[in-house]
Chain A
């Protein structure tokens, strides 16, 4: 009985696996496929760009696999993808591993806000968190929603005595880097003795771990008392409320494209390698947690068609793509950054 079931299952699986491969052989051979992988943070935007760009250049097939920044960087360094994507750019350690014959460029494509989405029974909007409070929530030092420190900044909310369940990333993630980089800027304790700054860190034991921005969003959605960090678009898509955070000037700010732009504008010096982090932006209207996100390119591509295609596509992304970015809840790049990114793109050659 069981043997037969297993056999039937195996046959079905074989059939299912066989069907799509039959489909792909029928496709035209002239399409140039360009494969990329990396951050989940800008994935909704990149996937949208790929669809839009297909209308303009039907013979180019871009693929983007959202596997997390850490994996994106290692695949880029190993040369298994044509381009990588990371919200933490390339670290100096990563840069040292770049094959000099190919070279590496970091092109900022868009920026985003890291929001804290929550799922508190009975609270559907308006949760305001002070800087030290959200740090302590993720450090595991504030454990219930009716903690006096949370109540102090939310006098109008009926906060339940439920346990706080922080939801964090289990994979190596640029979003984690942006978030912890910000927490480290708030309080030196975080980086010195606390969990530390990085793409993958050791969170307190009560935290639930999930994979990818979408995994964190989904986990927060189904867990009472959960709070998790993710890119704005992911919280928006699942219709989850996001916390109003206190910024460096001590003012509460709701995440919005305007607040994100104000945050990016606060950092005016753009370094030569375009690796600009804004861990704790200044300004009364600035949203406190923002991050650029980069596409990683080689300077030199063996296939000239690929070099041209990538250069054209990313130039399009820096130009018309920025409008799409705004529609999807990302923060469009500031003008000076776009100009610098274009200069860098020009260095891609066959």
Chain B
């Protein structure tokens, strides 16, 4: 076989059978690809195993009481992360609501012929640049710009609608509202960029067909384009939510780090990630085990969110895209 091709190989034609080098490159690349893919799984498994192993004494000692407990007392070795779980979910859901709404709105604005195509590219680049801003900068911006900006409004809301649970405390400084707002800005690029891609993936003839059937622009967007892009948009939301759950630095600076559960948008709270970041550096052995348990709780929450997101996505694909 090889000898048969050798004659053709020596000729300097454009087309020819693959050389031994090509075969080697090909199998090398295949090897690297397999190895990398394998490494991802091994690494994830290893991290999970390591966390589990470190957390195991704490899991044995505290059991499920860890998830329902509200104190974090190193001296008495009592650990509970309910306030942190609450803070994590509350801040992330608020951020998802705000960031998701704006992200999808931006995606519609940029893809549904509202503005010139080139201008849309400029907008998109600017939004993606948000993703490159370090989170510590977001934190500082939150402290020095956002909090002073929010204070008068929060004070008015508290004084007028103090009976309403969301406004039951005053914004003293760092708290849930500035944290959730900054978080919303941080997940905005993720949600917007992926949603834009989801809209772009819809063949143009779908929109033409919608217009052909006599829909108005908004009918076309809301009843045709949005449902068709829904699986992509859901993926964007799940990714954005995941990012919000794990965000650390900006939240550690803005959320106030108070170990309490409050519905109020203006009271300080804490999140799992910021608990980990601020307590790890000097934790003793027993506390490290508890922190590992907290990390495990965060991992499980993220896992549940991803699985739930995937399930909803499958459902929408079946319902709106007609695939089985």
Given contacts A2-B193, A163-B170, A163-B172, contact A211 B278 (CB under 8 A): yes
Q: Is A63 at the interface (CB under 8 A from chain B)?
A: no
- Give 1 or 0 for each of B59-88: 1 = CB within 8 Å of chain A CB: 000000000001111111010000100000
Q: Is A252 at the interface (CB under 8 A from chain B)?
A: no
What B residues does A18 contact at CB under 8 A?
none
**Cβ 8 A contact of B257, one of A1, A5, A198, A209:** A209
A165 x B83 contact (CB < 8 A)? no
A208 x B278 contact (CB < 8 A)? no
* Assembly CA distance A206 to B262 (angstroms): 10
B258 x A206 contact (CB < 8 A)? yes
* Assembly CA distance A185 to B144 (angstroms): 39
What B residues does A224 contact at CB under 8 A?
151, 170, 172-173
Q: Of residues 263 to 279 in B, which have CB atoms within 8 Å of A's CB atoms?
A: 268, 278-279
B residues whose Cβ falls under 8 Å from a Cβ of A: 70-76, 78, 83, 125, 128-129, 131-132, 143, 147, 151, 169-170, 172-174, 193, 256-260, 268, 278-279, 281-282, 284
What B residues does A115 contact at CB under 8 A?
none
Given contacts A2-B128, A222-B147, contact A208 B174 (CB under 8 A): yes
What A residues does B169 contact at CB under 8 A?
163
Q: Of residues 216 to 233 in A, which have CB atoms within 8 Å of B's CB atoms?
A: 219, 222-226
* Assembly CA distance A162 to B162 (angstroms): 13
CB of B173 to closest CB in A, whole Å: 3
- Name, among A71, A201, A203, A222, the residue most crowded by chain B CB atoms within 10 Å (CB to CB): A222
Supplied contacts A67-B282, A171-B281, A208-B174, 14 more A-B pairs, CB within 8 Å: A1-B125, A2-B128, A5-B129, A67-B281, A70-B282, A163-B172, A196-B75, A200-B74, A205-B259, A206-B258, A222-B147, A222-B173, A223-B172, A223-B256
What B residues does A2 contact at CB under 8 A?
128, 131, 193
B131 x A5 contact (CB < 8 A)? yes
CB of B259 to closest CB in A, whole Å: 5
B147 x A165 contact (CB < 8 A)? no
7 A-B pairs, CB-CB below 8 angstroms? A71-B281, A165-B268, A170-B279, A200-B74, A202-B76, A209-B257, A223-B172
CB of B284 to closest CB in A, whole Å: 8
Return the chain B residue nearest A71 by Cβ.
B282
What B residues does A67 contact at CB under 8 A?
281-282
CB of B101 to closest CB in A, whole Å: 22
* Assembly CA distance A163 to B158 (angstroms): 12
How many inter-chain contacts with C-beta < 8 Å in the A-B complex?
Answer: 85
B173 x A1 contact (CB < 8 A)? no
A209 x B151 contact (CB < 8 A)? no
What A residues does B256 contact at CB under 8 A?
208, 223
* Assembly CA distance A308 to B193 (angstroms): 62
Given contacts A70-B282, A170-B257, contact A226 B170 (CB under 8 A): no
In the A-B complex, list the 9 residue pairs whose CB atoms are closest, starting with the nearest.
Answer: A223-B173, A205-B260, A202-B73, A71-B282, A209-B257, A222-B173, A224-B172, A223-B172, A165-B172
**Cβ 8 A contact of A162, one of B72, B131, B170, B278:** B170
What A residues does B75 contact at CB under 8 A?
196, 198, 200-202
What A residues does B173 contact at CB under 8 A?
165, 219, 222-224, 226
Return the chain A residue nearest B147 by Cβ.
A222
B128 x A172 contact (CB < 8 A)? no
B258 x A205 contact (CB < 8 A)? yes
* Assembly CA distance A321 to B147 (angstroms): 41
What A residues does B83 contact at CB under 8 A?
205
A219 x B174 contact (CB < 8 A)? yes
* Assembly CA distance A9 to B257 (angstroms): 29
What A residues does B259 contact at CB under 8 A?
203, 205, 207, 209
